[in-house]
Structures are given as C-alpha cells and as structure tokens.
Chains A and B, each alone.
Chain A
Amino acid sequence: MPAAPLRALRNPGDRAWSALLMVLGGALLAVAGIIVLALWDVARPLGGVVSLKQFVTGQEWDPTSDAFGALAFVYGTVVTSLVAVVVAVPVSVGLGIFLVEMAPARVRPVVSFLIETLAAIPSVVYGLWGLFVLVPWLRTSVEPLLGRALGFLPLFQGPPIGLGYLAAGLILAVMILPTIASITIEVLRTVPSTLREGAYGLGATRWEAIRMAVLPYARSGIVGGALLGLGRALGETMAVTMVIGNSPTIQTSLFAPGYTLPSVIANEFAEATGEVHTAALAGLGLVLFGLTVILNALARLLVQAVGRGPAMGRP
C-alpha cells in the first residue's frame, strides 16, 4: 500500500478524504474508550463498599447483605475454561494436522465448511442442546463411568448431577474448537514445504516429518490459537449459564455445580437489588474484560510471530 502521496494532499478533495479516513479510524479507538469508560462508570459505586482485595479474594456473594466476593466466579470461570482447552486443543490440532498434512485436497473445503457451521451456531442453541441432551447423558452415562474409573482423583468424586463444571467445560470445548482449529489450519499452511521435503529426504515417515519439522515451526501459532480459544471460553455466557448449575461455591469435583463470571452477570444483572449490586456485577465485567484483553493481546502477538516465521529459519 502506498503511503499517502504528499503532493496530492494539496487537492481539497484529497485533504477532505484524508480527514474523513482519520475520523473513521479514530471512531474505532473511540469505541474502545467508550467500552472502558462505561464499564468503569457503572462499576464505580462499588468502590465505597468493598475493597479490591475483598472483591477479588472474597468467597461470599450475598447481595442482600452487601457481601461481594468474586472468588467462586473466578474459580468457576477458570476451571471450566481449562477443561475446555484441555479437551479442545488435542482435537483441534489433530483435525488441523489431518486436514493440512494428510487428507486429500478434496476433503479440505468440506470439513472447513462444517467447522465454520459449528462456529455459526448461536450460543443459546448450544445451551439448549447442553441442557436437554449433554447434561442427561453426563448424569446417566459419563459421570458414573468416570467416577468408577478415576474416582481416586478428587476431580471425579461425588454424586453425578450432570449440571456442573464438567458439562460447562465440555460445551465450551465444542464452542472454542472452531477458533483453535481454524488458526491451527492457518498456521500449518504457513509452514514452508521445504521443511517437510527436508524431513522426507532424510527418510522420515509422514508422522516423523510432522512431529520434527512441521509442529516445531507451528508451535507458537498453535499456542496463540489455544489462547484465543481460552479467551472465548472465559467470556462465553449463555451455554455455560444454562448448564453450570448456578451455585456460588468452590468445589474440587468437576461433577459439582458452580458459577462463572459471565453467568452471574447474565442471571442477576436485570434484577439487581440496588445500585451497589449492579456495580458489583459491572465490576465482575471489568475483571472479565481485563482478562480477555490480556489474553487476546498475547494470542495475537504469538500468531503474528508465526506469520513472520522464526528468525533463524529464514533464508
């Protein structure tokens, strides 16, 4: 793209066009500023009631007595998102490898289309499916089985309820899979084929070429994709709200019901009991905003770094 031609700026039309472009670009920065200011404004009344430390580390959430501790929500958000990433990353990477490295070229657009479809299904539809299909299945089949096989771990103890961290984590896994898979595919495609050819030339099998030549090159991009997926999982609201069980407690077992930051905002905001309650919920939103901004910034930097290729691998 050419830099703005300086001489052309003498033309009044071009000067107006340049000014208009600045305004249009600035509007996006304004949107970012508005988001931060509006969140801060709604959350401000909380400042006089609860200290930051109480808010972040407190375990009790009781709006009627002005107790606003967010730890159970932070815990639920982190646990469900981690379950989602642990389940979704191997599946997405396997899918990416299959599509880019193994499958015939005809298969690629078909599977890509299906993955796009998976991404296009609205969150509330996943929630409906989770509530009436996934949760009963977990309660009657999966959780009893996990309890018998891995019950010695505290993660898999307790009564199989269905609604809880595990259900939320699995549904999140389905929802973030398209994000991670599409970035994995994108990143694998940028791997120079000379790397593969070099590995084959040394007598590697296809898997050895993938493991020793392709994956090391793509690693930081895949990590970036996983972080983007994690960011989506942290903020995902509706599907989680419908299957998490809505219990503001901290429990070790994945079978137990919990609560997440977005879910409590979704459930309580419209019926908040007063200005401070609303402010506390907006405060949760601010925490969530901060978490996702940091994760996304990190993830974008990682994915961009792969696009440029590792410094030492370049000719």
Chain B
Amino acid sequence: MSSALVRRRAVDRLMTALAAVAVAVALVPLASVLWLVVSRGAAGLSWAFFTHLPTPVGEPGGGIGNALVGTLYLVGLACLIGLPVGIGAGVYLAERGDSPIGRGIRFTADVLSGVPSIVVGVVAYGLIVVPMKRFSAIAGAVALAILMVPTLARSTEELVRLVPGALREASLALGVPEWKTSLRVVLRTALGGIVTAVLIAVARAAGETAPLLFTALNNQYWNLKPDQPTASLTVQIFNYAISPYEDWHAKAWTAALVLLLLVGSLNLLARFLSRSRLRSQR
C-alpha cells in the first residue's frame, strides 16, 4: 500500500473518532444536569413540598405549593390567549401561505420565534403592568402567550400541510364547500398533531422564567386572581438559587426536579401521542 493511502486512511479514522468524541462532549452536560438535579433534588421531595407554602429562612418544612399552582395558572391563562392566535395563524399559513403576504407572515413568525423571552417580558410590562399600575398574573400570561404564538403557528402550519392533498381534493370533488372541507376534513385530520404541538408549547411556557420576573413577579401566598402578582416554579427556583442560604439551595434543587418532571412528562406525552398517531396512519 502506498504511504499516501495509509495517511489518507489514518486521517479518515481520526476524523471519525473526532466526530464520535463530539457526540460524547455534547451529551456529558445533559447527563450531568439530569443526574445532579435528581440526586440533589430527590431528598427534599415529600407530600408537604407539593402542598405547603414556602417558609422563611431557617424554618424547617415548607413547600412550593403556591408556585406549582401559580405556574399551572399562568400557563393556563397563556393558553387561553395564545392558542387561538397561534393555531389560527398556522391555519392561515397552511391555507393561504403561498401568497406574497403569506410568505411575509411566515417570515415574521420565523423572526419572532427568535425574539428573546426577556424582551417579551418588557413588552408585557408596557402593555399590562404600566396601565394597571401593578404586577399581575395576567401580565405574565400575556408574555407567555406572545412567546407561544410564533412557534405554534409554524408547527400548526407544518401539521396541516402534512394532510394528504387527495383528502382535500376528494372532499371538494364531492361538492363540499372549501370552508367545510378545511374545517371538517383537513383540520380534523391534523387535530392529533396540533394537540402534540400544543403540549410542546405548554412545556416550553412552563419552563420560562425571564418574562415572568417583572410581570407576574412573585407571591408568598396562594393566588388565583388574574390581577394579582403570582408565584411560579421557575421564579421560585431562581430566587432560592441566588439566595445565600444553604437550605434554600436545597429547595432550589428539589423545585428544579419538580419542574423537570413537569416539563419532561409533557414532552414525553407529546412524543407518545405523535408516535401512536403515526402508527395508526400507517
């Protein structure tokens, strides 16, 4: 074998090894984060942690019940506002998205999905907190809703476009008007996929912190009033983590475990739904 060929094969093997190393390097932080959150957080898990209010420093016990309820409340409100707009825009993009205006709206959605969540927090502050003169759950929910809209629109569009064109054509050929075809044939077929997209959007919203810092703020007590400040899991984790107290750090890890379980189970549910849908279509 010529020496050039030996060298080329050696380079080939070296690059293959380097690419494999890149995979390992990418996965080390994932393993580290998951392991540490579980190992440091598990000790603090108890029924009381889910149901009690937080306690002052040094006082044993206490939980994140209000923060957990607050997160669910904020995300629920955000869905009320964000889902119709996001899914609606997605349907528009799928049905009319090939016009020049449609392309413009699609591009806007793509660009908006990259707007930092903290900036959206400032937007919600200007829209809601300034006129109301008070931090409130609704302001946090508006921020989360604005964050949901662009990605939800794009994933809805893709899911509606996945519906085979023959279905639409068959319906139109039978004389069914376009609006009925879109609603009762195309959208109904895409519905399962849209539910998956919604679950992923909800999981992302539940993990947001930055847009809540100066909209929903925080609250030491239970709150289900839209015009009052509201606690959330993520803001609570942040406050616990940057505090100087050892027992609050421990609570931060446990709350992080709860958050990961919440976000993870939503994502797994979405995955499971989309997989069983694919199987049933096959």
Contacts and interface: CB of A to CB of B under 8 A. Distances in A.
Contacts of A94: 18-19, 21-23
B259 A122 contact: yes
Interface string A213-236: 000000000000000100110111
B170 interface: no
Interface of A: 1, 3-5, 8, 11, 13-14, 16-18, 21-25, 27-29, 31-32, 34-35, 38-39, 41-42, 90-95, 97-99, 101-102, 111, 114-118, 120-129, 131-133, 174, 177, 181, 205-208, 210, 228, 231-232, 234-238, 242, 262, 265-266, 269-270, 281-282, 285, 288-289, 292-293, 295-297, 299-300
Interface in B38-83: none
Residue of A4, A28, A281 with most partner-chain B CB within 10 A: A28
Contacts of A237: 116-118, 209-210
Given A4-B96, A39-B126, A122-B234, 7 more contacts: A1-B98, A5-B178, A22-B96, A32-B108, A262-B210, A269-B213, A293-B114
Contact of B85 (A31, A210, A299): A31
Interface string B175-189: 001111011000000
A38 B123 CA distance: 5
A238 B126 contact: no
A306 to B, nearest CB: 15
B141 interface: no
A92 B26 CA distance: 8
Q: Give chain A's interface secondary structure class.
A: helix
A293 B107 CA distance: 11
Interface centre among B9, B33, B146 (most CB of A within 10 A): B33
A118 B122 contact: no
Closest 10 CB pairs of A and B: A235-B116, A94-B22, A122-B207, A17-B179, A24-B88, A25-B92, A296-B114, A98-B19, A38-B126, A237-B210
A282 B127 CA distance: 13
B194 interface: no
B264 A270 contact: no
B36 A133 contact: yes
A300 B206 CA distance: 27
A234 B116 CA distance: 8
B181 to A, nearest CB: 10
B97 interface: yes
B111 A293 contact: yes
B118 A285 contact: yes
B16 A174 contact: no
B32 interface: yes
B75 to A, nearest CB: 13
A31 B149 contact: yes
B259 A1 contact: no
B98 A13 contact: no
Main secondary structure of the interface of B (DSSP, over half): helix
Nearest to B110: A300
B132 interface: no
B260 interface: yes
A121 B259 CA distance: 9
Given A1-B97, A122-B209, A234-B116, A296 B111 contact: yes
26 contacts: A1-B94, A1-B97, A22-B92, A29-B105, A32-B112, A42-B130, A94-B23, A102-B16, A122-B206, A122-B234, A124-B209, A124-B237, A125-B33, A129-B36, A177-B26, A205-B12, A208-B8, A235-B119, A237-B116, A237-B117, A238-B209, A238-B210, A270-B135, A289-B116, A293-B114, A300-B111
A29 B97 CA distance: 13
B197 interface: no
A101 B19 CA distance: 10
B119 A207 contact: no
Contacts of A296: 110-111, 113-114
Contacts of A242: 238, 241-242
A300 B107 contact: yes
Given A34-B123, A98-B20, A206-B16, A13 B180 contact: yes
B11 interface: yes
Contacts of B149: 28, 31
Contact of B96 (A21, A131, A132): A21
A262 B256 contact: no
B137 interface: no
B38 to A, nearest CB: 12
Contacts of A131: 241-242
B209 A235 contact: no
Contacts of B180: 13
A231 B89 contact: no
Contacts of B91: 21, 24
B245 to A, nearest CB: 13
Contacts of B174: none
Most buried by A among B122, B153, B267: B122
Contacts of A266: 118, 210, 213
Contacts of A16: 179
Contact of B214 (A1, A22, A177, A270): A270
